[in-house]
């Protein structure tokens, strides 16, 4: 009878023993330090401890090349082109003759004007002598005052005829000179619109050819007025320091992505904002001794507009964008947990972003292992460039 009374309590004893055994096993699997620490089970990431440093603030602007000087050749007189003593696409010098218009009719006009001047000068000499004689005779009343006045007037008219003949001769000389169409500047000449035998007219709309000076050469750039205002505001507030020296250097990136081997200088900035685009035109000057830059080429220019004294550089791989388009980075906080930071990264410098807001010196930014990092989870952080930590030795067999 006594044995039967103890049987109901035996299953309860077995259950309590099993629970104690499971609890003991679960305690062995729990990582040391509790669930919030970055223990051996936490994912490993590589971090970069950021610091503040002076960074040159450069902007990249689109633009096109333009000739330093340009001259469109048009005839000043009408006539037949007799010769074109230049090669299309060649270099020409200032004052070099490029077209010869038939000078024969203009030479004849010049000779006639010179003869008219000689006749007028002869007439003025006769009128002067007569006027001098009448001026003496009128004193003794040998001639009337009317005759004396007529002689003086004839002298003045003869002198005016000389001036008119001289002006006609000058005009004929100019027209004769215009039969030689010369280059007003030194540079490269393009294709010719006419050939010998063509009839050209004075001040015609179509140019005979165009001469362009390409060394040096201009690069016209456009910058938004909003960006310019922001730059000026940061300079005034002291967050941005001006670059050393008065000349602003400009680096040129060509259409194929290569960098032009010679640095240019910023010449001037336009004072008027384009109403249609809201942009301001900047003009830079570049040497072009090899003729690599041609007018009309699309280029991009990098201009250093100042130095930001306390900027933070973060690799491109560490910066991502959230659904709203904000730039974000992952940082490891003091508890070895991942934290998301929204930053401001408006400028790229080489393979890094220039971060001006959202980070402070000493923050540890995750640069490798982002796919394993989740906000709020513990990680094992290792500084970029540091030697990897040695692996833990296996536990001794019991």
- 62: domain CATH number? 2.40.30.170
Question: How many Å apart are CA 206 and CA 204, to the nearest integer?
Answer: 6
11 inside domain: no
- One digit per residue, the tens of pLDDT, for the chain of length 398 reads 444 444 444 444 444 444 444 444 444 444 443 343 455 678 888 999 999 888 877 778 899 999 999 999 999 999 999 999 999 999 999 999 999 999 999 999 999 999 999 999 999 999 999 999 999 998 888 889 999 999 999 999 999 999 999 999 999 999 999 999 999 999 999 999 999 999 999 989 999 999 999 999 999 998 888 877 877 776 677 655 565 555 678 899 998 889 999 999 888 777 788 888 888 888 999 999 988 999 999 999 988 767 777 789 999 989 998 888 889 999 999 888 999 999 988 777 778 888 888 899 999 999 988 888 888 889 988 888 765 555 544 444 43
Q: In angstroms, what CA-CA distances link 208 with 103, 182, 191, 201, 262?
A: 18, 11, 9, 11, 34
12 inside domain: no
- Domain shared by 221 and 296, yes or no: yes
Q: Which residues pair with 83 in a beta bridge?
A: 100
- Domain shared by 196 and 280, yes or no: no
Per-residue pLDDT, 29: 44
Q: Is the CB of residue 189 less than 8 Å from the CB of residue 88?
A: yes
- Mutual orientation of helices 145-178 and 104-137 as an angle, nearest 10°? 160
In 289-342, alpha helices (H): none
User: For residue 54, is it left (φ>0), alpha (ψ between -120 and 50) or beta?
Assistant: beta
- Domain shared by 96 and 196, yes or no: yes
Coil vs helix vs strand at 285:
strand
Which are the contacts of 338, defined by CB distance < 8 A and separation ≥ 6? 45, 330, 331, 332, 366, 373, 374, 375, 376, 377, 378, 379
- Domain shared by 202 and 95, yes or no: yes
Q: Is the CB of residue 279 less than 8 Å from the CB of residue 222?
A: yes
Per-residue pLDDT, 32: 41
Q: Is the CB of residue 369 less than 8 Å from the CB of residue 46?
A: yes
- Domain shared by 350 and 370, yes or no: yes
Residue 197: give the domain boundaries: 75-102+179-206
22 inside domain: no
The tokens of 206 are what? 């179509």
Coil vs helix vs strand at 212:
strand
144 inside domain: yes
- Domain shared by 62 and 96, yes or no: no
Per-residue pLDDT, 24: 45
- 140: domain CATH number? 1.10.287
CA angle 318/322/227 to nearest 5° reads 80
Question: How many Å apart are CA 340 and CA 332, to the nearest integer?
Answer: 9
Question: How many Å apart are CA 295 and CA 68, to the nearest integer?
Answer: 9
From the list 354, 351, 344, the residue with the least C-alpha distance to 317 is 351
Coil vs helix vs strand at 139:
helix
Indicate the number of domains in the chain: 4
270 inside domain: yes
Question: How many Å apart are CA 60 and CA 301, to the nearest integer?
Answer: 5
- Domain shared by 284 and 236, yes or no: yes
Per-residue pLDDT, 26: 44
7 inside domain: no
- Domain shared by 292 and 185, yes or no: no
6 inside domain: no
Q: What are phi and psi of 290, to 5 degrees?
A: -85, -5
- Domain shared by 163 and 174, yes or no: yes
- Domain shared by 328 and 379, yes or no: yes
88 inside domain: yes
- Domain shared by 146 and 193, yes or no: no
Give the DSSP H/E element, type plus range, for residue 384: none
C-alpha atoms less than 13 angstroms from C-alpha of 53 in its C-beta half-sphere: 10
- 187: domain CATH number? 2.40.50.100
Per-residue pLDDT, 2: 45
- 324: domain CATH number? 2.40.420.20
- Domain shared by 242 and 261, yes or no: yes
Q: Which residues pair with 282 in a beta bridge?
A: 221, 269
The tokens of 57 are what? 């603030």
Q: Is the CB of residue 219 less than 8 Å from the CB of residue 66?
A: yes
């Amino acid at each position: 009878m006594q044995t039967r009374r103890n049987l109901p309590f035996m299953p309860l004893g077995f259950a309590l023993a099993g629970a104690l055994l499971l609890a003991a096993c679960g305690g062995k699997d729990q990582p040391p330090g509790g669930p919030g620490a970055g223990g051996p089970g936490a994912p490993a990431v590589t971090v970069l401890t950021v610091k503040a440093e002076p960074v040159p603030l450069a902007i990249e602007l689109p633009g096109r090349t333009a000739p330093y000087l340009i001259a469109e050749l048009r005839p000043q007189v009408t006539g037949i082109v007799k010769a074109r003593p230049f090669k299309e696409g060649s270099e020409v010098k200032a004052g070099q003759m490029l077209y010869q218009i038939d000078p024969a009719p203009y030479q004849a006009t010049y000779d006639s004007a010179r003869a008219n001047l000689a006749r007028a000068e002869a007439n003025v000499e006769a009128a002067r002598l007569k006027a001098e004689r009448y001026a003496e005779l009128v004193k003794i009343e040998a001639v009337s005052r009317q005759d004396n006045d007529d002689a003086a007037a004839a002298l003045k008219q003869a002198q005016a005829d000389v001036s008119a003949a001289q002006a006609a001769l000058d005009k004929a000389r100019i027209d004769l000179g215009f039969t030689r169409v010369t280059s007003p500047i030194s540079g490269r000449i393009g294709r010719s619109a006419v050939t010998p035998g063509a009839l050209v007219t004075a001040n015609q709309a179509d140019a005979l050819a165009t001469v362009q000076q390409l060394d040096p050469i201009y690069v016209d750039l456009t910058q938004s007025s909003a960006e310019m205002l922001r730059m000026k505001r940061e300079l005034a507030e002291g967050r941005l320091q001006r670059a050393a020296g008065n000349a602003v250097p400009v680096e040129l990136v060509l259409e194929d992505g290569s960098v032009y081997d010679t640095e240019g200088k910023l010449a001037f900035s336009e004072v008027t904002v384009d109403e249609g685009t809201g942009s301001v035109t900047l003009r830079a000057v570049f040497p072009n001794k090899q003729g690599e830059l041609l007018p009309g080429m699309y280029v991009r220019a990098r201009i250093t507009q100042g130095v930001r004294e306390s900027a933070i550089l973060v690799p491109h791989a560490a910066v991502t964008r959230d659904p709203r388009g904000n730039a974000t980075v992952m940082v490891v906080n003091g508890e070895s947990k991942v934290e998301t930071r929204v930053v401001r990264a408006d400028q790229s410098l080489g393979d890094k972003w220039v971060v001006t807001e959202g980070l402070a010196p000493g923050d540890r930014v995750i640069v490798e292992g982002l796919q394993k990092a989740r906000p709020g989870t513990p990680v094992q952080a290792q500084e970029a460039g540091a030697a990897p930590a040695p692996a833990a030795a296996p536990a001794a067999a019991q």
